[in-house]
Amino acid sequence: MMKTKRRITKSYFYRAREQYAPLVQKLAFTIGVDNIHTEELKSRADDEILKCMICYDKSGSFMTFVYFRLYGIFRHLRDTENRAKRNQGVSMESVVNVAGPEYDINRDMMIQEYLDYLDNEERDVITELFFNEKTMREVSKDKGVVASTICRIKTRAIEKIRHKCGIA
């Protein structure tokens, strides 16, 4: 038996957009950093609702599908912008200090010693998060585990390093 494709008409899309406008407003306000960012997120919502209408496979509630899709997209956009701002904040002087003649080899050896104190899993997570500048979401995707597990591993590793330093 041939499965018929759903047709998404303009009126159907406009009706869905109106129906989910309060959800979009709530998510954009919750996740947005300021008014300008909130408006950018709301403008992006139309495209995402249309993608949801196309991708929805009728398993579960459409409202839940739209909510988590929008929530994920909005957080991803916010995190991407924050990461870009963080990278712009690196001054040329700090880059020269790392690569310049005043580079502290003792610091590098100390970091290596602390990383050797950790087990492989903790070392990988700390290296990815702090030295390769990845987010927890990216690391969790690479490792194939949830972000909360990565957070626990990071916390455990930092506690081990603090204990080794005598800080904790």
Q: How many domains does the chain have?
A: 2
Range of the domain at 135: 104-165
Residues 103-119: what's their mean pLDDT?
A: 76
Residue at 2 is within a domain = no
Residue at 98 is within a domain = no
CA distances from 61 to 58, 120, 167 (A): 7, 41, 49
Residue at 3 is within a domain = no
Burial of 140 (0-12, 13-18, 19+ CB in 10 A): buried
Predicted pLDDT of residue 85:
66
Q: How far apart are CA 126 and CA 138, in angstroms?
A: 13
Residue at 72 is within a domain = yes
Shared domain for 69 and 130, answered yes or no, is no
CA distances from 40 to 28, 36, 64, 99, 133 (A): 9, 6, 22, 38, 26
Residue at 93 is within a domain = no
pLDDT digits (tens, 9 = 90+) for 112-156: 888 888 898 998 998 888 888 888 899 999 888 998 999 999 999
pLDDT digits (tens, 9 = 90+) for 145-167: 998 999 999 999 988 888 887 77
**Residue tagged 């800080």 (tokens):** 167
Predicted pLDDT of residue 87:
58
Shared domain for 76 and 113, answered yes or no, is no
Predicted pLDDT of residue 152:
93
Model confidence, pTM: 0.46
pLDDT digits (tens, 9 = 90+) for 43-56: 888 888 888 888 87
Q: Which two tokens stand for residue 128?
A: 């990815």
Residue at 99 is within a domain = no
Q: Is residue 123 a contact partner of residue 153, using CB atoms and an 8 Å limit?
A: no
Q: How far apart are CA 75 and CA 83, in angstroms?
A: 12
Residue at 96 is within a domain = no
- Estimate to the nearest angstrom the gap between the alpha carbon of 140 and the chain centroid: 10
Shared domain for 69 and 17, answered yes or no, is yes
Shared domain for 25 and 74, answered yes or no, is yes
Query: In this structure, how many other beta carbons lie within 10 angstroms of the beta carbon of residue 3?
Result: 5
What CATH number is given to the structural domain containing 135?
A: 1.10.10.10
pLDDT digits (tens, 9 = 90+) for 59-95: 778 888 888 888 888 888 888 877 766 655 555 555 4
Residue at 141 is within a domain = yes
Shared domain for 70 and 130, answered yes or no, is no
